[in-house]
């Protein structure tokens, strides 16, 4: 039986899944795992983790998360490269949220780079093909 209980909807509890990345006990091994852990950081209002995993070339000086947004579900649409032996990767996703009680979706194609065995979020472009 598959047990899904983490914010990113992967198997296992938060501690076994993204919690180990947020605490610094482990590094996300792939671009998809970094995407999942960053989504979980949004769910937990962990701006520090988001900044730490943002590539220095594109990272803002600070990050203010919107308390009116509640993140509900992450759907990974596709991944391109971003594996254990890659240094670049792309993750296309749909993140579902509620803002002031109204449901919404954020669709993106995010790019990731691996530097010295650590994955970083580089940037994103809106998923124009699937946006409505």
CA dihedral 26→115→43→45, nearest 10 degrees, is 100
- Give tens-digit pLDDT for 18-49: 788 999 999 999 999 999 999 999 999 999 99
- What digits encode the pLDDT tens for the residues 6-15? 556 666 666 6
**Is residue 23 in some structural domain?**
yes
Any idea what the CATH number is for the domain that residue 36 is in? Answer: 3.10.450.50
Q: Is 67 among the domain residues?
A: yes
Is position 12 within any domain?
Answer: no
Q: What is the pLDDT of residues 67-94, one digit of tens each?
A: 999 999 999 999 999 999 999 999 999 9
Q: How far apart are CA 34 and CA 77, in angstroms?
A: 15
Split into its structural domains, the chain has a count of 1
The secondary structure of 21-33, three-state, reads HHCCCCCCCCHHH
Q: What's the pTM? A: 0.86
Range of the domain at 35: 19-126
The count of other CB atoms within 10 Å of the CB of residue 17 is: 22
């Amino acid at each position: 039986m598959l047990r899904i209980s983490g914010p990113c909807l992967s198997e296992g509890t938060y501690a076994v899944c993204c919690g180990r990345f947020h605490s610094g006990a482990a590094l996300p091994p792939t671009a998809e795992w970094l995407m999942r852990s960053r989504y979980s950081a949004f769910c937990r209002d962990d701006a520090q983790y988001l900044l730490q995993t943002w590539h220095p070339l594109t990272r803002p000086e600070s990050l203010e998360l919107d308390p009116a947004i509640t993140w509900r579900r992450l759907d990974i649409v596709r991944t391109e490269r971003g594996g254990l032996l890659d240094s670049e990767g792309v993750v296309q996703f749909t993140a579902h949220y509620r803002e002031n009680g109204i449901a919404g979706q954020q669709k993106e194609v995010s790019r990731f780079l691996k530097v010295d065995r650590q994955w970083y979020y580089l940037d994103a472009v809106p998923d124009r093909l699937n946006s409505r």
